[in-house]
Structure 1
Amino acid sequence: MSETELEEGLVSAAARFDRALARLGASTRDLGSRLQRHQRMEVDTQRLVHERARLATELDKTAARAKRLDDSAHEVSRRLVEAMETVRSVLAKAE
Structure 2
Amino acid sequence: MSETELQDGLGAANARFDRALLRLDQSAKNLGTRLRQHNRIEVDTQRLVHERSRLATELDKTAARAKRLDDSAHDVSRRLVEAMETVRSVLAKAE
Give the C-alpha shift of residue 90 in structure 1. Answer: 1.1
TM-score (structure 2 length as normaliser)? 0.96
Matches within 5 A, 1:48-63: 48-63=48-63
Provide the aligned C-alpha RMSD in A. Answer: 0.8
Give the C-alpha shift of residue 16 in structure 1. Answer: 0.6
How many residues align? The count is 95
TM-score (structure 1 length as normaliser)? 0.96
**Could you tell me how far apart the structure 1 residues matched to 2:63 and 2:15 are?**
70
Identity of aligned residues (%): 81
Could you tell me which residue of structure 2 aligns to residue 88 of structure 1? 88
Could you tell me which residue of structure 2 aligns to residue 18 of structure 1? 18
1:3-54 deviations in Å (ceiling 9; x for gaps)? 2211111111111100100010001101110111111011111111110111
Could you tell me which residue of structure 2 aligns to residue 79 of structure 1? 79
**Could you tell me how far apart the structure 1 residues matched to 2:94 and 2:31 are?**
92
Unaligned runs of 5+ in 2: none
Unaligned runs of 5+ in 1: none
Please identify runs of 4+ aligned residues in structure 1 that moved more than 4 A. none
